[in-house]
């Protein structure tokens, strides 16, 4: 059976879309790290976390930051929380800050309850208006940004990841040692 020219072209474009990933960054390519358009440095924000503490990017300067936009309503987001917690417990003492910003609309108590039920101990806040997510360009949940010690965005990851995998640990350890 032969393919017509339009069908062959469609298959070729589909294959390129699925298997060629332009814009991927050096050592983070195994994790699906892409360089976000229009952002070179992490925009500052000021929020209150679920424990009532102030939280801002300015406070985190000098640390490697994994900034995760998520929602309690997002199943893939919920599923990756244990891996984020494990990464934070392992690499937090070495200088990795894991920060999650929930996009739940105005319900910080629901977010706090979820975190307590699932033993999430890293800082979690809420962006009920979605303004911070918008500034960062996070339109799909979960979306994570990796920020270097200097405040520069090293890359963006769209979708859930196994943050405890070898590629992830190697990538973060390299950033922590810079």
- pLDDT in 10s for each residue of the chain, 178 residues: 444 545 544 444 333 333 333 333 435 778 899 998 889 999 999 999 999 999 999 999 999 999 999 999 999 999 999 999 999 999 999 999 999 999 998 778 999 999 999 999 999 999 989 999 999 999 999 999 999 999 999 999 999 999 999 999 999 999 999 9
Read off the tokens for 13.
Answer: 């474009």
Q: Which residues contact 20 (CB under 8 A, 6 or more apart)?
A: none
Give the model's pLDDT for residue 142.
98
Minimal CA–CA distance to 99: which of 150, 46, 152? Answer: 46
The span from the CA of 83 to the CA of 128, in Å, is 24
Q: For the residues of 9-32, what is the DSSP string, one character each?
A: HHHHHHHHHHH--TTB-TTTGGGT
Which ranges constitute the DSSP H helices of 20-156?
57-60, 75-91, 108-117, 131-136
Q: Are 90 and 165 in contact (CB under 8 A)?
A: no
Give the model's pLDDT for residue 91.
98
Give the model's pLDDT for residue 27.
55
pTM: 0.83
Give the model's pLDDT for residue 14.
37
Give the model's pLDDT for residue 4.
52
Give the model's pLDDT for residue 28.
74
Give the model's pLDDT for residue 12.
44
The span from the CA of 150 to the CA of 4, in Å, is 53
Minimal CA–CA distance to 140: which of 162, 118, 157? Answer: 157
- How big is the CA angle at 127 (ends 98 and 159), to the nearest 5 degrees? 55
Chain Cα centroid distance, residue 166: 17
Minimal CA–CA distance to 89: which of 117, 120, 62? Answer: 120
Q: Which CATH superfamily is domain 23-176 in?
A: Glutaredoxin (3.40.30.10)
Minimal CA–CA distance to 168: which of 53, 45, 44, 32? Answer: 32
């Amino acid at each position: 059976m032969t393919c017509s020219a339009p069908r062959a072209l469609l298959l070729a474009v589909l294959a390129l879309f699925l298997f060629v990933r332009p814009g991927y960054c050096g050592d983070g390519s195994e994790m699906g790290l892409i360089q976000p358009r229009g952002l070179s440095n992490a925009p500052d924000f000021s929020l209150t976390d679920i424990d009532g503490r102030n939280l801002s990017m300015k406070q985190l300067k000098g640390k490697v930051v994994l900034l995760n936009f998520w929602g309690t309503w997002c199943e893939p987001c919920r599923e990756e929380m244990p891996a984020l917690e494990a990464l934070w417990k392992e690499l937090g003492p070495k200088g990795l800050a894991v920060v999650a910003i929930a996009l739940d609309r105005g319900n910080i108590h629901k977010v706090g309850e979820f975190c307590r039920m699932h033993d999430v101990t890293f800082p979690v806040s809420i962006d009920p208006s979605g303004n911070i997510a918008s500034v960062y360009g996070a339109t799909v949940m979960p979306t994570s940004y990796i920020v270097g010690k200097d405040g520069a965005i090293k890359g963006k990851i769209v979708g859930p990841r196994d943050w405890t995998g070898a590629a992830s640990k190697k990538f973060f350890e390299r950033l922590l040692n810079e």
